[in-house]
Structure 1
Amino acid sequence: MCAAARLLGIRTAVAVPVTVAVSVVMFGIASLSPFDPLVAYLGDNYQAATQSQRAAVRAAYDIDQSWWQAWWNWFFGAVRGDLGWSSTKSQSVTTVLAERIPFTLALSGAALVTAAAVAILVGGITGMRRGGALDRLCTGVAVTVAAMPPFVVSLTLVAVVAVGLRLLPASGASAPGDDYTAGGLVRHAVLPLIALTVSQIPWLMLTMRTAVAQACESDAVRAARARGVDGWALLRGHIAPVSVLPTLALLGTRLPELIAGAAIVETVFSWPGMAATLVESAAALDFSLLAALTVGSAFAVLAGSALSDAAAVAIDPRIEMKA
């Protein structure tokens, strides 16, 4: 446990300069965007606006300031707890995040936990029966699904379940005009949750299956079999503790794909998370909101990697990780 805590401390110290560097790079790259933020600010009035009106809007939103000045102002505001004002949402960035991040976190978190549970269970079973009919079936399905982008899975679910069978709603988090309710949220979240979960299962399951198959060939497992240990007792007591480590390591490295997949799935299902907000902020060069989302995503990836490595060290103290 001390080794895991020490690892988390080192990763936290590394994460601070990394996230700062990410914010600097984001402002620099965003400044090269060909999009004119005035189009987003003025909307349908862009073509009719006079030069003086456009100049007034540029001055009001500080559009003409250099990117490094924009970063400097945003960074020191963030240090004081002020993430700035979102020009695209006409709200403070804190308010935008508070309204939308819970939807993204709930969807992504539920998908990650569900995918990990299914992958560990199915991977463990197929790994212990390597070469059998179930192993070949599950491996074939996993490879096929892994080759399918999340938007293909999402559109297939919409076409079959929502449009064809009319079993579940195809978009949103509530019926048009209705307030959010627990039942409505669950009902509308089923399809995006399935889409995001399915896109995460294949590589986790294949990794678990390979690790279990290798563990089954180890001397320790052979000795356990010789003592009469078999089935779930063998998997739970001798194989799973060793085999789950590669899957934990993979969970941390798959977070960028989870974030990207969540953005795609949210867009297809019109889930009121951060996906549409991220696109709007990028197109309009809404630096304050875009910076908060970019830095938040980077921090989530770093935190996920650190937590997965710390969990591996806690499970098996023989693992040595310096950072």
Structure 2
Amino acid sequence: MSATVRYLLRSAAGHAALLLVVSSCGYLLAACALDPRGNYEERSPSPPAEVVDAALAERNLDGRPLGARYLTWVSGVVSGDLGATWDGRSVNEEMAQRVGATLRLVAPGALLGSVAGVLLGAWAGTRGPGWGRRLCVAGAIVVISTPVVVIAVSLQVGAIWLNNSTGMDLLRTTGESTPGGAPGVAGALADRARHLLLPTLALALPQAAMLSLYQRAFIAEAASADFVRTARAKGVPRRTAVRVHALRTSLLPAVDLAGYSAAGLFAGAAFVERVFGWHGVGDLLIDAVGSGDVNTVAAVCAFAALCVVAAAVFADITRVVLDPRVRAE
């Protein structure tokens, strides 16, 4: 078995353990903190207590010991059953309706934010002191310091102002597509792109700002390495030496960081979906927490953990491609 395969298998085993731990913690915290019984008590008239107890017991939301409810939940998840909502709907069906919308939002946001952040950080790291570099750092700090919900609302307000100023419907600020759709395949794709642009930017901007600062720091660290100093001693200009010799080395930690920072995108996606009217997993999570829906909250946590693990696996594969030392171990 090659060193590359052994490395990927070790990483996969660690990611599988991480997925189990995070999913279990999500269920246990939801089961301890949320109270689905309150949904029945708010009805007028309230159902009899025995009816409520029977409904909660059927959905694994009753007052049995936490360990027993957890084992029931785990056995269902292993068999592909995520349980039922507090009012008896299938969590599997709810997730199936929402997962696609979230992936269509988070995937381009993660890709755009990661690529833009690495490129911007590489540009700032290979330049000497100057106004461009200072503005890049200052802008990144401002974006990182701004909550994602503020960024989303600001983009939405700016798009509305632009549409009103130009008298044209350039950008869409709510929903994933226009009701009724646009004629033709090209029209439908263009319509979805207009709806996707603003929420994608709302997710990508904080990601790009964070990665640009880290990438700049990684390049600065790599630029002080012996091989860069040797290249400069041979007469190679600093910018060329950094770009040719230090950039590839500095990409390795940036790739790892981009993979694991996907968790932050899912946290921001919940607010972005709410602001822009996307009915995705984040929007479902907010509603589930408000209604004390333990099984739905646990399913969303497990889905987010699965996506983070998938991003980490992609980062591992990218590391193998970029770092020949992994292949040689």
TM range (shorter): 0.7 to 0.9
Task: Letter of the 2:77 partner, please give it.
Answer: A
1:100-139 correspondence to structure 2 within 5 Å: 100-139=98-137
Question: Is 237-246 or 271-280 further displaced after alignment?
Answer: 237-246
Find the partner of 1:250 among 244, 252, 257.
Answer: 257
Structure 2 stretches lacking a partner, 5+ long: 165-169, 183-187
Change (3 A) 1:179 1:65: farther
**Correspondence for 2:175:** 172
Change (3 A) 1:2 1:308: farther
- How far off is 1:251 after superposition? 1.1
Determine what percentage of the aligned residue pairs are the same residue.
Answer: 29
**Correspondence for 1:10:** 10
Change (3 A) 1:4 1:56: same
Does residue 47 (structure 1) correspond to residue 39 (structure 2)? The answer is no
Structure 1 stretches lacking a partner, 5+ long: none
Q: Is the 8 A contact 2:232 2:238 kept in 1?
A: no
Does residue 27 (structure 1) correspond to residue 34 (structure 2)? The answer is no
Helix, strand or coil at the partner of 1:169: coil
Helix, strand or coil at the partner of 1:46: coil
Q: Distance in 2 between matches of 1:3 and 1:86?
A: 46
- How far off is 1:195 after superposition? 0.8
- How far off is 1:81 after superposition? 2.3
- How far off is 1:101 after superposition? 1.0
Change (3 A) 1:310 1:316: same
Please give the root-mean-square deviation of Cα atoms over the aligned residues, in Å.
Answer: 3.2
- How far off is 1:290 after superposition? 2.2
Helix, strand or coil at the partner of 1:81: coil
**Correspondence for 1:287:** 294
Does residue 97 (structure 1) correspond to residue 95 (structure 2)? The answer is yes
Does residue 206 (structure 1) correspond to residue 213 (structure 2)? The answer is yes
Q: Distance in 2 between matches of 1:227 and 1:24?
A: 56
Change (3 A) 1:97 1:231: farther
- How far off is 1:38 after superposition? 4.6
**Correspondence for 2:74:** 75
Question: Is 245-254 or 211-220 further displaced after alignment?
Answer: 211-220
Helix, strand or coil at the partner of 1:85: coil
| Alpha-carbon displacement from aligned partner over 1:258-309 (angstroms, at most 9, x marks no partner) | 1111122112112121012112223333333222221222233334334424
| Alpha-carbon displacement from aligned partner over 1:157-215 (angstroms, at most 9, x marks no partner) | 1111224544422211123x435943332111111001111011112111112222343
Helix, strand or coil at the partner of 1:115: helix
Q: Distance in 1 between matches of 2:227 and 2:60?
A: 66
Q: Distance in 1 between matches of 2:161 and 2:53?
A: 48
Find the partner of 1:149 among 142, 147, 150.
Answer: 147
**Correspondence for 1:182:** 189
Q: Distance in 2 between matches of 1:260 and 1:149?
A: 11
- How far off is 1:33 after superposition? 2.5
Change (3 A) 1:21 1:248: closer
Change (3 A) 1:94 1:54: closer
TM-score under structure 2 normalisation?
0.82
Helix, strand or coil at the partner of 2:324: coil
Helix, strand or coil at the partner of 1:173: coil
Change (3 A) 1:65 1:171: same
Q: Distance in 1 between matches of 2:88 and 2:227?
A: 59
Give aligned pairs, total: 317
Helix, strand or coil at the partner of 2:33: coil
Change (3 A) 1:121 1:21: closer
